[in-house]
Amino acid sequence: MNTNDSTTRLDFIRAIVAEDLRTNKWDGRIVTRFPPEPNGYLHIGHAKAICLNFGIAAENKGALCNLRFDDTNPIKEEAEYIEAIKQDVRWLGFDWQDRLYYASDYFEQMYEYAVQLVKAGKAYVCDLTADEIREYRGTLTKPGKNSPHRSRSAEENLNLFEQMRAGKFPDGTRTLRAKIDMASPNLNMRDPVMYRILHATHHRTGDNWCIYPTYDWAHGLEDSIERITHSICTLEFENHRPLYDWFLDQLDIFHPQQIEFARLNLSYTVMSKRKLLQLVQQRHVKGWDDPRMPSICGMRRRGYSPASIRNFCKRIGVNKFNSTVDIALLEHCVREDLNKTSPRVMAVLKPLKVIIDNYPTDQVEELDAVNNPEDPSAGTRKVPFSKVLYIEQDDFMEKPPKKFYRLAPGREVRLRYAYFITCTDVVKDETGQVVELHCTYDPATRGGDSPDGRKVKATLHWVSADHSLPAEVRLYDHLFTKENPDDVPEGQDFKSNLNPNSLEVLTDCRLEQSLAGAAPLSRYQFERLGYFCVDPDSSYDKLIFNRTVSLRDPWAKIQKAQKNRPG
Ligand code: ATP
Ligand code: MG
């Protein structure tokens, strides 16, 4: 899909933007924002919001997108997250230029706006506890009750509010509430809390404040102060929109349009920061950047490319209905991009020694291997071939079933870029395990084709034993065994669906020589195996790779079909 193609159908938000530009609604201005709360790392759901907000800015001439830290809650927020979020947005390919903002920079302005509402009799100081406020609120079927403090005079409210700010009251003893309608069918409109007392040190404002604004009060003000035109958020905030509008209307200040879209849910994973934090803190994963995490930093470490994530976000589109996207689509987008961009190399994950009996003992040949069949400009490289090789254990079967076309006793196969070989003997250890194969090669098949037109049914990857590099390779599977990890019996939580086999570490792998010194995070296709990425823990002496995603394996499919066949 080409975004520059004017015939491409726009999603409903982009259609609103296009219409607003056409009618000059915002004097031709378009300003969006991405407003993360710095209380965790970004995940693939955030990537959807980033691609949407920054995407709209990139696609429309003169349009802008701000990066704003919604740092109104001092309790869970940490400076560590701020740097990580900036890095992730940049890595995804977006740029906020000089428009990096912090909600905490607006605290004084927000306070003044609150004073304005207090003076106008539209906000009051309430002495009910949090529990009492909840009790008084009523339910969807039952109207709320007015707080006994609702009728305080503006002077008294102003005085109390000033004392709240001055730190005269303990945490939780008072709040500032909007005076709207305790009988409103929308619970959010039943005198919502604007400020709560919290004697906590904020990572940016220190101890300057002991009252902190709630999301509903703060968010519209942040948007208004930045003169955002389209305030795009997820569907849970649809019911909050009347409140968003109410505050801005009462203050009579710049009034952006809030638009809601469906958040991204992905199968076999969880997306809530609270749950992801639990996985990290309880060490179910190694950290936020564990390659099994749906975090942006986890996906980066796993080897996902920014282009593949952007392309995934384009494919899933933007709409108003909550649904769950199959993680296979994300993996498909990753394969599609890596297929075009990754250099091919040969690596053997579970080595089986092969000795070519008729190959000269000290001979080493440098054979030409194609770096990327999808990109001729990537050229070729030399791979060494010698008498002792490794192939994959899975590529040999002593008693091959039907449809297993790879190496077996007496059978001839091709070694990629090299020769045809025929298996002549099988060596086993005392437990019956195959430990070594003896083969012969046909010198006339150098490069991989037989001059007499002889055909073989399989081509195997291999490495030369003496020239290969030892490596650790980490294989990943879904983090959860269930499509919906929250689907649990009563009394259990999502963690009972963790996949115990989500990580498999292979320590005896052998890689082709050209990978010596491969830079952290560089990506390769290991021929026939999948896409792999150098882990940041990797060093010159100890290479470590992560499997990003496997290639499709028709053999696995056949096996599965056979297993599922009745009888
Ligand atoms: P969580 O519920 O996991 O804490 P959040 O929505 O509170 O997530 P924020 O840091 O407030 O996280 O999110 C920043 C922006 O990213 C918001 O505009 C939010 O709408 C958007 N966002 C968060 N999660 C998703 C998701 N799964 N899909 C799309 N957008 C998302
Ligand atoms: Mg939030």
Decide whether any atom of ligand 1 lies within 6 Å of the 46 Cβ. yes
Residue among 11, 46, 316 to mutate when testing ligand 1 (max atoms within 8 A of CB): 46
Checking if the pLDDT of 553 tops 70, the result is: no
| CA 5/CA 11 separation, integer angstroms | 14
Res. 558 pLDDT band, cuts 50 70 90: low
Decide whether any atom of ligand 1 lies within 6 Å of the 240 Cβ. no
Decide whether any atom of ligand 1 lies within 6 Å of the 35 Cβ. yes
Average pLDDT along the chain: 95
Checking if the pLDDT of 12 tops 70, the result is: yes
Ligand 1, atom nearest to 237 Cα: 20
Mean predicted confidence (pLDDT) in 5-13: 75
C-alpha of residue 74 to centroid of ligand 1, in Å: 18
Check if the beta carbon of residue 149 is closer than 8 Å to that of residue 191: no
pLDDT digits (tens, 9 = 90+) for 386-400: 999 999 999 999 999
Ligand sitting nearest the alpha carbon of 236: 1
Which residue's CA is the nearest one to ligand 1's atom 23?
46
| CA 74/CA 201 separation, integer angstroms | 6
What pTM, to 2 d.p., does this model score?
Answer: 0.93
Res. 460 pLDDT band, cuts 50 70 90: very high
Decide whether any atom of ligand 1 lies within 6 Å of the 539 Cβ. no
CB proximity list for 300: less than 8 A, separation 6 or greater: 88, 91, 289, 521
pLDDT at 566: 62
Which residue's CA is the nearest one to ligand 1's atom 26?
45
Checking if the pLDDT of 552 tops 90, the result is: no
Centre a 10 Å sphere on the Cβ of residue 323 and count the other Cβ atoms it contains: 10
Which residue's CA is the nearest one to ligand 1's atom 13?
36
Mean predicted confidence (pLDDT) in 221-243: 98
Q: Compare 210 and 77 and report the one with higher pLDDT.
A: 210
**Angle at CA of residue 27, ends 3 and 53, nearest 5°:** 35
| First-residue to last-residue Cα distance in the chain | 45
Q: How far is CA 40 from the centre of its chain?
A: 13
C-alpha of residue 359 to centroid of ligand 1, in Å: 61
Q: Give the active site residues.
A: 37, 263, 273
Res. 557 pLDDT band, cuts 50 70 90: low
Decide whether any atom of ligand 1 lies within 6 Å of the 225 Cβ. no
Q: Among 315, 323, 341, which Cα is nearest to 264's?
A: 323
Element (H, E) at 44: helix 44-59
Which residue's CA is the nearest one to ligand 1's atom 22?
46
Checking if the pLDDT of 224 tops 90, the result is: yes
Ligand sitting nearest the alpha carbon of 42: 1
pLDDT digits (tens, 9 = 90+) for 302-330: 999 999 999 999 999 999 999 999 999 99
Decide whether any atom of ligand 1 lies within 6 Å of the 38 Cβ. no
Decide whether any atom of ligand 1 lies within 6 Å of the 48 Cβ. yes
pLDDT digits (tens, 9 = 90+) for 506-550: 999 999 999 999 999 999 999 999 999 999 999 998 999 999 999
| CA 379/CA 514 separation, integer angstroms | 14
pLDDT digits (tens, 9 = 90+) for 412-459: 999 999 999 999 999 999 999 999 999 999 999 999 999 999 999 999
| CA 390/CA 295 separation, integer angstroms | 36
pLDDT at 564: 72
For 164, the 3-state DSSP assignment is helix
